[in-house]
Structure 1
Amino acid sequence: MKKKGLCILAFLLPVQIIFIFFLAGHPELVENWYSRFLYPEFSKLMRYGHGFLPFSLGDLLYTFLGILIIRWLLRRFNQKFRNPRFWVIDVLAILSVVYACFHIFWGFNYYRLPLHEALEIENDYTTEELYQLSEILIIESNKLHNQLTENDSVSVVIPYSKNEIFEKTIEGYSNISKDFPELTYKGESLKRSLYSIPLSYMGFNGYLNPLTGEAQVNTQIVPYKIPTTASHEIGHQLGFAKENEANFIACLSTMNHPDAYFRYSGYTFALRYCLNELYRRDPEKFKTLKAKMNPGILENYREVEEFWLAHQNPFEPIFQAFYNRFLIVNNQADGMKSYSYVVALLVNYFSEEKNRL
């Protein structure tokens, strides 16, 4: 009976894959029935269920699963992987369960409508519009930098503890949800990752655990980056699975935050994306705008770069390549390059804001 059940689970793996291909072609179905109807309720229940824990339940779960996998591999090595008919079905059955849990608990959100449709903003723009937005972001970033530092050449240092940053991150969502009800955040579950040091060497700021719904933040990173990172992971919690969309939501939350340090983190985060895209399109205009930036903003950027350079290692490109492939498989055709889509969302969001005035 047990073997029959395992065979059924193994058989369901290709069935699930076919079903996912079907859903990929019907984003309205995913949006209306999963992302807006089912997911918000049971994800909220998950967060209320263990969000109060002072540690990451998901990281402990991954540790336990990792130990089980290592034990299983050691047994297979000792047996020289003989008699595959006795263990291949087991592996396929486990993969089937994990694949199902991943999608049911969160992963279906990869196949929802694009964010610009959900928020009713456009997703294309001209180079001139990009240039104008970059100018606006520089003015705001310089203004905030001057407010938070003694001179224009030093970097901004966030004076809050990690826990205070987390609390203020949640406050940012309370503020932005007044304009965007889709971003209402209840059942807080924002955690320090127990794997912050390994994440630093893998090249990741944080991640969402799809099995527990916890937003995990790498607290080893430069504190100036934690507000946007934590906001990004909450964006994932709210059902916006794509990286570019979570980045845009992080910009919205931090740029509209009542705290000046958070606004600085958000504006300079958005500015960097815009300047990178402007450099790709028009290097001369990029140079013109870069000269207008306070040197201290560039110092903040340099500190972030130095952190990642200090953690470079031969394995990081492997993790990045694996994650890039993961994004492509999960309906992000450009992989990590799709992050540039955040610029289109920013340009059109600011255009909408300007038209309202």
Structure 2
Amino acid sequence: MVVQIILFYILSKIQTAVSFFENFFEFQKRVHLILFAWIPFSIGDIIYVLAGIYVLILFFKTFKKRTRNCALLRMLILVDLFYFIYQIFWGMLYFQTPLITKLPETEITIDKRKSLALEYLQKAKATRELVREDQNGVFILNDIAAVQNEILKNQNKLPAFITDKKSYNVNSFKSSLFSELMSFTGILGYYNPFTAEAQYNNNLPSSYLPFTISHESSHQMGFAREQEANFVGYLIGVYSQNTDLRYSTEYFTLKSLLNSIVQDDEEFVKFVLDNYSEGMKRDRLHEKQFVMQHQGLMTDFFGFTNNLFLKSNQQEGTVTYSYFVDLLVRYKSLK
């Protein structure tokens, strides 16, 4: 394991090596889509379950003197194998050239962020009038398959100066088998690098769900960094003809801007929240109720471990939105 860590660390500093892994990602993704996309449930989750069961069996074998050494060796081999496959399939993509270098430099001022917050407040209010509601007046996703197809279509419309990554127009978005558990961890979705499946928690409020799928589709395209996947997800959704996807994207963008402003000007954030449309206020209350119903030790634990994971891969922690907002402000300065 130590040798592998040193090896991949050295490779991460060599641009030619990183470019090789980018090209290899495209190859293995295409193979994985052919193998797994057509299966209606998550093969990646099945792999995780089987691996977990195997590790658990080995763990109990370590308590027996006769099988201890063999079990420990097999556990070490399994961990080494998973780490190696993870790195060549996905981990090295964290060292791609950052998207921010492809956008013009501009000062990220509080006034610019406030102006964008007001812009997306008006956009979200207008789009909110076009979506369906449930019996409680809360936004309800009309057709998840239509959202997924729209995302695939819009992947091919990303600006050429942002990316030349390929979309294969293959639907491999899948509801996670762990959706119920995910609701208690704060995890909205994840990309499975072993099967190229974009997983999402299908128990999420509808206001979260379309943008979450768009975000995971960005990982599926090869954008490893979380906030870059948010930005690409934004580009996929913000100009969409699908009102569910567009509203979820505009609403996410507004919340991200407000999160970046609140420490500097709490009164402005309160003003914007007060000016949500009645429908948006109901959606916000529904989100807060969902979070409150699923809070607990698991939320804290997974939030902590995810924070460590992000920082170990040269990313910001879970509580900061500044990189996404930086990308957004730079992109909007082009208009």
TM-score (norm 1): 0.85
Higher helix share: 1
- Give 1:42 deviation, angstroms: 2.1
- CA radius of gyration, larger in: 1
CA distance in 2, matches of 1:18, 1:254: 39
Q: State the Cα RMSD in Å.
A: 2.5
- Find the counterpart in structure 2 of residue 159 from structure 1: 142
1:56 aligns with 2:39: no
Structure 1 pair 318/149, CA: closer, same or farther in 2 (3 Å)?
closer
Note the 1:129-168 alignment, pairs <5 A.
129-148=112-131, 154-160=137-143, 162-168=144-150
Moved more, 308-317 or 208-217: 308-317
Task: Give matches, 1:87-102, under 5 Å.
Answer: 87-102=71-86
1:182 aligns with 2:164: yes
Alignment partner, residue 116 of structure 1: 100
The reply on whether 1:268 has 2:217 as its aligned counterpart is: no
Q: What does residue 32 of structure 2 align with?
A: 46
Alignment counterpart, residue 9 of structure 2, candidates 21, 45, 49: 21
* Match among 135, 143, 154 for residue 172 of structure 1: 154
- More divergent stretch after superposition (176-185 vs 310-319): 176-185
Relative to the length of structure 2, the TM-score reads: 0.90
- 1:82 deviation in Å? 7.3
Structure-2 change in CA distance of 1:91 and 1:67 (3 Å): closer
1:34 alignment counterpart: 21
Identity %: 27
Equivalent residues of 2:25, 2:222 under 8 A apart: yes
Q: How does 1:71-86 map to 2 (within 5 A)?
A: 71-77=57-63, 79=64, 86=70
Q: Distance in 2 between matches of 1:21 and 1:178?
A: 30
Per-residue deviation, 1:178:
7.0
The Cα of 1:18 is off from its aligned counterpart by: 0.9
Match for residue 196 of structure 2 among 206, 213, 228: 213
Q: Which residue of 2 aligns with 1:10?
A: none
CA distance in 2, matches of 1:320, 1:130: 26
Q: 1:335 corresponds to which letter in structure 2?
A: G
Match of 2:88 in 1: 104
Does the CA contact (< 8 Å) of 2:158 and 2:236 recur in 1? yes
Query: Structure 1 residue 286 and structure 2 residue 272: aligned?
Result: no
Aligned length: 332
Give the distance between the partners of 2:131 and 2:36, measured in 1 at CA.
36
AA of the residue aligned to 1:32: S
Amino acid corresponding to residue 327 of structure 2 in structure 1: L
